[in-house]
A and B are shown apart, each in its own frame.
Chain A
Amino acid sequence: MSDGGSISRRVVLIAATLVLAATACSIQAPDFQLVSQGGGAGPGVLPSGVATGAGGSYAGGQFGGGTVGGGGPAASGNCVGKATDTGVTGSTIKLGSTFAISGPVSSISGPIKKGVLAYFNEVNATGGIYGRKIDLKYYDDGWDAQKGKGLIKKLVEQDKVFALTTVPSSNGLDAATSYLESKRMPVFGSSGLIESQFRSPMIWPIGTGTRSASRIGESDIVNRLGAKNVAVVWLDLLSGAEARDAYEKALPKRMLAADRRVGLSEAEFSPVWADVKKQTRDWQKAHGKTQDGIPDFVALLIDPTNAVKALEAAQNLGFKPRIGWGGGAPLFLDLVLGSTSYAADTGIYAQTSFIPPLPEFAANPAVQAYIRTVHKYYPNADLLNPYLEGGYAGAALTVEIFKRAGSCLTREKAIEVANSIAGYSAAGLTQPLTYKQLGVGQSHYGNLFILGVQAVKDSKHGHWKVAVQGSQMWAKDPSPGA
């Protein structure tokens, strides 16, 4: 090889190493969506398929019918038809949001957009709020915290939105929390995936917190299902780590048989199960039990794609916990049941913060309205997806706050109203939300309830049903924020 060739190869090697190192920095949460929506932003698409302008701004309203509660008495205030604050004109309320439509958690975060847009579209179709239609400006941040923070700043400073709504890309929201507080920019109806959302005076989550859900899950596993030991397999991302911490705190230490971290890019789960078996065997040895390496229960605190991989690898190896496996909302997806019958065969449990469209709730008018509205704009949407439902309920909370604030809508008024919400069920799909119920400072643990579901076998891969019937159906976190 010539010297020039040698040098050029070294250049390539160095470049490749740099690329590799740069990629390594984001391997836990990388964004390979190299063609992103313009500046992070790009053309969004209306539910009807109508392309929007840059940034995905839309002002729906072309859809008629529906029973979603928009409206408000059009002549009840004296500011109808007038601009009242930044982002509020006589005919529109400009809201902002960031979604992780691309990137590593897009299977969870992406569908949320459908719930949000369906609700707002229906509100606009029924006349808007005091005659003002919702104009939602949204960006895809690919679950990148810094990109998400930058886009949130853009929404506030350049797009001049009135408020933020839902912001399901919680990684970026987490990074932008201090900024939003400094600007007194409210976020209504966020996911609640990350604890910091509940502790910010500017964020009102719609979902039950990951820690609350984990505490309830742990209690269910021990008290109802009778597990004597639990193996915890958790995803090393914000909410996965929070769920694991909650389990570790709630679970008596003597019951933790195995504790295994996995990454988002976990290539293969066979070694994970080998490790869980080994740890369980060690635990059994230490507690004088038969050393078969099989835990009573496996808490799968991971994303749905990894959950399917985990179950398939377990099936291949013939590994199954004595009682079953379970986790939070990420497992409550058809995706998890659709890939393998092993989930239903071996007993898998999941959770949701919202009344799900399961047969048990088929007669519930709110559930019927949810199904009708989302299907109207997204006929193929997975209605069972608790994140999509959360987006819908988060949009409903936002609209309710604006309605209660009256026609002379200002940001401070909306904040005041949000802090006074008590006993309100968002879109009829949540248990009563009360943002001051703790009575401690500005904590916003509004939703404290969890519904447990479990997979049951059928002629296909299985289906979901409510785990506990009757008055115990909804469990409440007794110690939010602990």
Chain B
Amino acid sequence: MSFYFQLIILGLPIGVLWALLATSVVMIYRASRVLNLAVGGTAMFTAYVMYQLNLWGVPVVLALIGALAFAVLFGIATERWLLRPLRDKPMLVSVIMTVGVLALTTELASDRWGVDRQNMPRIMPSGAVHFAGIAVGLDRIFILAITLLVMAAVVYLFRYTTLGISMRAVSDDRRAAQLMGVPAGRVSTTTWALGGLLGGTAGILLSPVIGLTPNGLVFQSIPALAAALFGGLVSIELTFIGAMVLGVLWSLLPGISFGSLHLREVTGVQEAAIFLLVIAFLYVRWEALFGSELREEEI
């Protein structure tokens, strides 16, 4: 049993990081109705900015702050100059624009830093914690703790702050919110800034685990998008749960055997499980599980 328990525990840090990326997607979607497929690009590029700053001799803490500042500015710039002009165009145009941003960031990173893995400056402790017969890396525990704190802050912001309420108001009905005095444009920009911050944080935390390469971090946005779909692109809580389930599944599935059938030997079992789960969830969730309640309350 401790084997499966260990796999579950080991899946949690990846799950929370996907949750962070997914929350960025959900937050931006809620405020601007744009599905941000560039979230992986933002995460990746932010990590590279931190790497480059450190390479230039900037101390790790300052490099971290600088990179996060970049993520915020990147989010703002994307909204102001790339997406706001498209507000009156069909929604898919904006989504395609985010694909363009993803391509641009990936290409720029490949050109500037090459495709080989680069070493991120170490910001997390090394070593492992042993308990209940299992070993877990200290850095993974660190990731788990940091991300949970960030997630809690996001939920608090959405539920209890003026900004969060404004975001929800803009999300519900932009015109009505504006009539009520909510500065919809500024709220939208702030949301993109926060979305960039979340994506950038995820990139900085993920890159030491999965390696800093132009493609590696972008791959991680795929399960994150799946988690966002769990939450119907609106519910941060469900998105979080979805990401955790996916992280645990990713870790657990290859360890499961049915008699002589070992899932670790099945090609693409983890990927397939994620998408089957998303499709199944989309089929049943709205009507069977939540009916119209979610649609009305969560948005």
Could you list which residues of chain A lie within 8 angstroms of chain B, going by C-beta atoms? 1-2, 5-6, 8-9, 11-13, 15-17, 19-21, 23-24, 27-28, 30, 32-35, 102-104, 106-107, 110, 236, 259-261, 263, 265, 267-268, 270-272, 274-275, 278, 304-305, 308-309, 312-313, 315-319, 335, 338-339
Contacts and interface: CB of A to CB of B under 8 A. Distances in A.
Given A15-B95, A102-B115, A275 B271 contact: no
Contacts of A2: 173
Contacts of B128: 316-318
A270 B140 contact: yes
A263 B3 CA distance: 21
B209 interface: yes
Given A15-B35, A32-B102, A313-B137, A260 B264 contact: yes
A135 to B, nearest CB: 26
Interface in B87-143: 91-92, 95, 99-100, 102-104, 106-107, 110, 115-117, 119, 126-128, 134-140
Contacts of A33: 103, 106-107, 110
B104 A268 contact: no
Contacts of A34: 99-100, 102-103, 106-107
8 contacts: A12-B95, A24-B222, A30-B219, A32-B102, A236-B267, A259-B265, A267-B210, A318-B127
B137 A6 contact: no
B209 A268 contact: yes
Given A270-B136, A270-B137, A275 B254 contact: yes
B24 interface: no
Contact of A274 (B7, B110, B119, B218): B7
Interface string B13-48: 110000000000000010001010100000000000
Q: Interface of chain B, helix or strand or loop or mixed?
A: helix
B250 interface: yes
B219 A318 contact: no
Given A17-B278, A32-B102, A274-B10, A27 B219 contact: yes
A13 B137 contact: no
A102 B110 CA distance: 8
Nearest to A305: B117
Given A13-B229, A103-B215, A274-B10, A110 B127 contact: no
Given A107-B213, A316-B138, A317-B128, A35 B251 contact: no
Contacts of B110: 33, 102, 106
A-B interface, 8 closest residue pairs, ranked by CB to CB distance from nearest: A34-B103, A316-B137, A106-B115, A271-B251, A265-B219, A270-B10, A107-B116, A1-B299
Interface of B: 3, 6-7, 10-11, 13-14, 29, 33, 35, 37, 91-92, 95, 99-100, 102-104, 106-107, 110, 115-117, 119, 126-128, 134-140, 172-173, 208-211, 213-216, 218-220, 222-223, 225-226, 228-229, 232-234, 250-252, 254-255, 264-265, 267-268, 270-272, 274-275, 278-279, 282, 295-296, 299
Contacts, number: 187
A17 B102 contact: no
B222 A20 contact: yes
A27 B211 contact: no
Nearest to A265: B219
B282 to A, nearest CB: 6
| Max chain A C-beta neighbours (<10 A), residue from B104, B138, B140, B210 | B210
A13 B211 CA distance: 30
A274 B35 contact: no
Contacts of A9: 33, 232-234
B16 to A, nearest CB: 12
Nearest to B292: A6
Contacts of A272: 254
A1 B271 contact: no
B265 A35 contact: no
B262 to A, nearest CB: 8
A108 to B, nearest CB: 10
A38 to B, nearest CB: 14
Nearest to A319: B135
B209 A16 contact: no
A263 B267 CA distance: 8
| Max chain B C-beta neighbours (<10 A), residue from A30, A34, A271 | A271
A346 to B, nearest CB: 15
A309 B209 contact: yes
A300 to B, nearest CB: 15
B282 A13 contact: yes
A309 B225 CA distance: 23
A309 B211 CA distance: 7
Contacts of A24: 222, 271-272, 274-275
Given A107-B213, A309-B210, A275 B102 contact: no
Contact of A261 (B138, B232, B233, B254): B254
Contacts of B250: 267-268, 271
Contact of B117 (A8, A16, A339): A339
Contacts of B274: 24
Contacts of A309: 209-211
B254 A271 contact: yes
Contacts of B225: 16, 19-20
Nearest to B116: A107
Nearest to B232: A13
Contacts of B210: 267-268, 309
Contacts of B252: 271
B15 to A, nearest CB: 10
B10 A263 contact: no
Nearest to A278: B3
A335 B116 contact: yes
Nearest to A275: B255
Given A32-B218, A259-B264, A274-B7, 8 more contacts: A12-B91, A34-B103, A261-B267, A267-B250, A271-B251, A274-B3, A308-B117, A309-B211
Nearest to A107: B116
Contacts of B91: 8, 11-12
A305 B213 contact: yes
Nearest to A270: B10
Contacts of B278: 17, 20
A236 B126 CA distance: 29
Given A34-B102, A270-B140, A339 B119 contact: yes
B264 A261 contact: yes
B188 to A, nearest CB: 16
Contacts of A110: 115
A16 B35 contact: yes
A318 B115 contact: no
Contacts of B213: 107, 305
B254 A316 contact: no
Contacts of A35: 103-104, 107
A9 B265 CA distance: 38
A317 B135 CA distance: 6
A268 B14 contact: yes
Contacts of B296: 1
A6 B254 CA distance: 38
